[in-house]
């Protein structure tokens, strides 16, 4: 699934965003941006108009309240990290230019048109504990378009057992942690009684861990699970069911530190932390259309199809950003682009060991899209066991499909299939859907297509924590953002937004601007 958890956007796999410690569901509205005056060639105070701190209209000279020109920040990259950084800087009174090489905003969490359908490149979800991403939705006036379920409830269909297909559910009640999951686990039919008991013991051990402990980053999740009595079946039917979707890696290939962050925050911090939210509209409505409206309202100048070729220090100590269409002078630059692109733009000396960025691997996500001529699924989503299918979502309404049903299959940790031809994927997955959903057996497949994100997320391999850089670089005025930076989170939409907070906060501190972190629990 695409991540909130992708980001997949930074995000994609399942996309629950993860948070540290006990995260509160705090809603936040930033303070109103500082203002500057727009002087239209007249010294008559009656003709001075108050406007946002931004590039003024034609012929407008912009000044701050003390008469000095406003500070200028250039944000390179308009995924969730870059949009967040731009909004935070603008809300603090900084003049902001946001540059994006693509013809749209949203990074790797976007939509496109295919005939009459509006298609998301991948299925992204988030969790109630994703307070940063919820801030983003609120900030762009999109929260009502991506609601969270009342209580965690995940249908899990196992078609690999000897007794045939069997449906179970992962769900919670309203009791305190960890009792909120106890009843659901006790009734989960895909594990034996002994395996369910072992899960409880492992969960208690997880609660005692500090995800930020560097020692945890050095071991893999499967090793830790083995030490705590988890069978191969338990890993398949529970830990990897969640972990592959959120981490974009199976347990043997995932850092224990990141796994601890996901499970401790999502399942063991607050009773409702793992309740799932997802967009009921195309992602482009949220991450492009509404985000652009919010940026415009904040006074951010957004330039699309602007590829940055160089970021260099000027003799006066500022920065110069060269695109294929213009040269920009800036006091502050935020590089909110993937790690390899950031490596190519970093000036000498900005990081102690910039080549570490090249050691941060990437992991793919494969998304399979099937349009049937009739309704074949009556749930909004489900997860599968005993099948190569991982998660299936109903995207009919969001896509604008008039008749029939549109299902999206989200396949994380898909290195083995990311380059498989469409016809082979069709031959593999349509029969699997018939095993999982008997109603598909008489249905006509009206469309079958695939979207591939080969670098959907950074690879959450053991040891990746020491490679992820902080937002602040050694070069004054230059900052990094992106889910791959040192957020403490896996590559999710939540991690992307948090990285934007960190970069903007560090930049504002260096500019001497007062700044309050939007999420006090994460400050």
DSSP codes joined into one string, 407-476: EEEEEES-TTTTT--HHHHHHHHHHHHHHH-GGGGG--EEEEEEEEEEEEEE---TTGGGGPPPSB-SST
Nearest partner of 68 among 33, 94, 32, judged by Cα:
94
Residue 50's CB: how many other CB atoms inside 10 A? 8
| Alpha carbons 180 and 202: distance in angstroms, whole number | 16
Using DSSP's 3-state secondary structure scheme, residue 228 falls into coil
Instruction: List beta partners, residue 124.
Output: 2
Predicted local distance difference test score (pLDDT) of residue 523: 33
Residues 6+ apart with CB under 8 A from 315: none
Residues 6+ apart with CB under 8 A from 471: 479, 480, 481, 485, 486, 499, 502, 503, 505, 506
DSSP 8-state symbol, 45: G
DSSP 8-state symbol, 394: E
| Alpha carbons 487 and 468: distance in angstroms, whole number | 8
Predicted local distance difference test score (pLDDT) of residue 161: 84
Contact 259, 243 (CB under 8 A): yes
HEC string for 48-95: CEEEECCCCCCCCEEECCCCCCCCEEEEECCCHHHHHHHHHHHHCCCE
HEC string for 282-336: CHHHHHHHHHHHHHHHHCCEEECCCCEEEEEECCCCCEEEEECCCEEEECEEEEC
Cis amide linkage into residue 178, ω under 30° from 0? yes
pLDDT in tens, the chain (523 residues): 645 544 333 333 344 333 333 222 233 233 333 323 222 233 233 322 223 333 443 333 454 555 567 899 999 999 999 999 999 999 999 999 999 999 999 999 999 999 999 999 999 999 999 999 999 999 999 999 999 999 999 999 999 988 889 999 999 999 999 999 999 999 999 999 999 999 999 999 999 999 999 999 999 999 999 999 999 999 999 999 999 999 999 999 999 999 999 999 999 999 999 999 999 999 999 999 999 999 999 999 999 999 999 999 999 999 999 999 899 999 999 999 999 999 999 999 999 999 999 999 999 999 999 999 999 999 999 999 999 999 999 999 999 999 999 999 999 999 999 999 999 999 999 999 999 999 999 999 999 999 999 999 999 999 999 999 999 999 999 999 999 999 999 999 999 999 999 999 999 999 998 888 888 643 3
Tokens of 209: 């861990």
DSSP codes joined into one string, 233-257: HHIIIIIHHHHHHHHSS-GGGSBHH
Contact 22, 29 (CB under 8 A): no
| Alpha carbons 363 and 366: distance in angstroms, whole number | 10
Predicted local distance difference test score (pLDDT) of residue 22: 29
| Alpha carbons 202 and 191: distance in angstroms, whole number | 15
What region does 74 belong to: left with phi over 0, alpha with psi -120 to 50, or beta? beta
Residue 380's CB: how many other CB atoms inside 10 A? 15
Secondary structure of the chain: what % helix, strand, coil (to 5)? 35, 25, 45
What region does 452 belong to: left with phi over 0, alpha with psi -120 to 50, or beta? beta
Predicted local distance difference test score (pLDDT) of residue 517: 84
Nearest partner of 454 among 108, 39, 79, 96, judged by Cα:
108
| Alpha carbons 77 and 335: distance in angstroms, whole number | 7
């Amino acid at each position: 699934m695409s991540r909130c958890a992708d980001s997949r956007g930074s995000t994609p796999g399942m996309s629950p965003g993860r948070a540290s410690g006990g995260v509160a569901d705090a809603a936040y509205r930033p303070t109103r941006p500082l203002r500057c005056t727009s002087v239209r060639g007249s010294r008559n105070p009656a003709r001075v108009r108050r406007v946002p701190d931004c590039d003024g209209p034609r012929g407008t000279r912009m000044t701050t309240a003390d008469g000095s020109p406003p500070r200028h920040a250039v944000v390179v990259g308009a995924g969730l990290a870059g949009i967040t950084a731009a909004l935070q800087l603008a809300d603090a009174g900084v003049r902001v230019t946001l540059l994006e090489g693509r013809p749209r905003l949203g990074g790797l969490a976007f939509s496109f048109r295919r005939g009459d359908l509006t298609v998301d490149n991948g299925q992204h979800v988030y969790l109630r504990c994703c307070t940063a991403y919820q801030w983003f939705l609120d900030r762009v006036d999109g929260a009502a378009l991506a609601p969270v379920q009342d209580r965690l409830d995940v249908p899990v269909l196992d078609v690999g057992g000897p007794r045939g297909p069997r449906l179970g559910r992962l769900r919670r009640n309203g009791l305190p942690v960890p009792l909120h999951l106890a009843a659901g686990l006790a009734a989960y039919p895909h594990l034996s009684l002994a395996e369910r008991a072992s899960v409880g013991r492992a969960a208690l051990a997880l609660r005692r861990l500090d995800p930020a402990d560097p020692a945890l980053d050095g071991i893999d999740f499967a090793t830790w699970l083995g030490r705590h009595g988890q069978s191969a079946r338990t890993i398949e039917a529970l830990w990897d069911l969640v972990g592959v979707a959120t981490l974009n890696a199976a347990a043997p290939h995932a850092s224990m530190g990141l796994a601890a962050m996901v499970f401790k925050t999502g399942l063991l911090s607050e009773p409702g932390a793992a309740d799932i939210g997802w967009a009921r509209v195309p992602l482009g409505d949220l991450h492009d259309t509404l985000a652009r409206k919010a940026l415009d309202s904040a006074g951010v100048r957004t330039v699309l199809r602007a590829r940055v070729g160089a970021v260099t220090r000027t003799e006066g100590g500022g920065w110069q950003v060269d695109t294929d269409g213009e040269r920009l002078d800036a006091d502050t630059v935020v590089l909110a682009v993937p790690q390899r692109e950031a490596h190519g733009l970093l000036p000498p000396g900005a990081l102690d060991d910039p080549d570490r960025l090249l050691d941060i691997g990437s992991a793919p996500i494969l998304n399979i899209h099937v349009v049937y001529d009739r309704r074949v699924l009556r749930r909004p989503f489900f997860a599968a066991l005993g099948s190569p299918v991982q998660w299936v979502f109903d995207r009919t309404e969001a896509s604008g499909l008039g008749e029939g049903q549109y299902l999206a299959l989200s396949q994380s940790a898909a290195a083995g299939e990311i380059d498989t031809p469409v016809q082979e994927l069709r031959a593999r997955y349509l029969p699997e859907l018939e095993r999982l959903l008997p109603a598909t057996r008489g249905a006509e497949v009206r469309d079958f297509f695939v979207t591939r994100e080969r670098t959907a997320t950074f690879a959450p391999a053991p040891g990746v924590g020491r490679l992820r850089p902080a937002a602040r670089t050694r070069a004054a005025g230059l900052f990094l953002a992106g889910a791959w930076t040192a957020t403490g989170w896996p590559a999710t939409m939540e991690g992307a937004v948090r990285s934007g907070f960190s970069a903007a906060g560090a930049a504002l501190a260096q500019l001497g601007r007062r700044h309050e972190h939007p999420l006090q629990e994460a400050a």
